[in-house]
Structure 1
Amino acid sequence: MKSLFSFLALTLLPIGLSIAQSTSTTPTSTTTSGSTNRLQDLYDEHHGITKKTGSTAGASAEKPGRTKSERKADESSANESTVGVSPSNQPSMDRNLSRTRIGIRAGVTYPFFLEKAVGVDPAPGFVGGLTFNFGSGKVSFQPEVNYTRYNQNKNLLGFTLKEGADVLEVPLLLKISSGTYAGSRFFVNVGPYASYAMSASEDGKKVSLDGEKGRFGFGAAAGIGAAIKAGPGHVTVEVRGLYPLGNTDNGFSTDSKTILGQGTLGYIFPLGGR
């Protein structure tokens, strides 16, 4: 009987030692692995690193031994593709699509007499002012504010007297253009205008118009020109004629014998976006 117990003890002892060793090894491994993961989590939390499952940045962040700057660089490169296709980061619409434009124009004036006036000849003057344009299509609205001088020469007994009139003009024009603002265009301007005679001159000496009637006038304007693409805006070249149709004192009239001609060069550019 003792021999049987001795035999069983010798047989079961190795098995028990094997089971005990296996049991003690498994928790240690688990504890070590859990400890390592916990230390990595604490490191990530301390350095503000957020793990992203399934992303390149997340995979890079989970690698131990990487510096904070390396992780940020990986996250930035991973996000560039997403940012690049975002509608808000696509190339902005060309500023040429702006609905508001502002510009300047300047040039010469020259009155054309429809009937020859005895002793009176037309003479060149000048014009300059601001141009505004509202609309981005082929049809737009273009108000202007211009300072204009019209001159003529009056011949009296062999002497020439140069007469001038300084006028503030406000055209309200409908602009019809070809093409698009992305390139050069041709255009036609047509519409009414209002005017105010500020002063007059004779041989360079200013003549007061205080008390004179008919200082507020109105008429119709029409012009044709081209807008040549240059930088963010366009260089404009235009030939325009203004036909007076009366004033606030004498009323409407189509008996004017003069067309007030203007030839101008300008530049107009967009303000802001759409």
Structure 2
Amino acid sequence: MKKLLLVSAMALAAGFSYGQTIIPKVGLTLSKWSGDDIDDAKFKPGFTIGAGLNMPLGTGMISLQPEINYIQKGVKFEEGDISDKYTLNYLEVPVLVKATFGEGTKFYVNAGPSVAFGLGGKNKWEEGDEKGEADIKFGDEDENSDDLYIEKGTDIGLQLGAGVIVAEKVIIDLRYGLGLTDLEDNASVKNNVLQLTVGIPLSIGGK
């Protein structure tokens, strides 16, 4: 543990020595559930908003980028005139390692773990002319409530992505989030999210 703390401190010190960039961003998501207990899942659109802090590790092309994002995940099921949509809202914290290439217009790849904390959600359904909805909560089910419950409020995943930095003014990021933990104790159901965001890099340190 002491070695891990020392390495983290050295990485942060290196980042602050060579300048950092705050990246506020906003974008769209396409999400669905996967797993052995899921059939015919379809992508559900949503959105995400948040910010990252890019910290160069020395003078090379490698940097560390922790983020904090509000993100919508979930799934949609359709069959005939029946539609069932689940929207799950999370506060997500990825920690990415980024490798950047090129001059002028730059390209990068990034990857790293993430942990997301469930905030709640909404289930909406339609069957013919009938419609309904219910709130989604995380945790143990309340038998006296009409809400829907998802047992696991913490969602651990792996994020893989790439992007382009245009003239140091705009960042376009395409990323896939692969869920590693199930949403339920006794079912194989995981979140998967494709997200496309646009960010504005704001320098906060000298080089």
TM-score, scaled relative to structure 2: 0.70
1:234 Cα deviation after fit: 2.9
Cα 1:155–1:179 change in 2 (3 A) is closer
Structure with the larger helix share: 1
1:105 Cα deviation after fit: 1.4
1:130 is matched with which residue: 35, 51, 71?
Answer: 51
1:261 is matched with which residue: 186, 194, 197?
Answer: 194
1:129 Cα deviation after fit: 0.4
Q: Secondary structure at the match of 2:164?
A: strand
Tell me the residue number matched to 2:160.
222
Q: Secondary structure at the match of 2:52?
A: strand
Higher relative contact order (CA 8 A, sep 6+): 2
1:187 Cα deviation after fit: 0.2
Tell me the residue number matched to 2:25.
105
1:114 Cα deviation after fit: 6.2
Tell me the residue number matched to 2:85.
162
Matched, 1:241 2:176: yes
Matched, 1:153 2:85: no
Q: Secondary structure at the match of 1:169?
A: strand
In percent, how many aligned pairs have the same letter? 24
Higher Cα Rg: structure 1 or 2? 1
Structure with the larger strand share: 2
Tell me the residue number matched to 1:208.
137
In structure 2, distance between residues paired with 1:259 and 1:247? 11
Query: What residue identity is the alignment partner of 2:181?
Result: G
Matched length: 169
Cα 1:101–1:176 change in 2 (3 A) is same
TM-score, scaled relative to structure 1: 0.54
Cα 1:248–1:108 change in 2 (3 A) is closer
Tell me the residue number matched to 1:144.
67
Q: Secondary structure at the match of 1:246?
A: coil
1:246 Cα deviation after fit: 1.5
Q: Which runs of 5+ in 2 are unaligned?
A: 1-16, 125-132, 141-149
In structure 1, distance between residues paired with 2:55 and 2:201? 12
Q: Secondary structure at the match of 2:138?
A: coil
Spell out, residue by residue over 1:107-132, the C-alpha distance to the aligned partner (whole angstroms, 9 max, x if none).
11112566794353221111110111
In structure 2, distance between residues paired with 1:195 and 1:114? 17
Q: Which runs of 5+ in 1 are unaligned?
A: 1-96
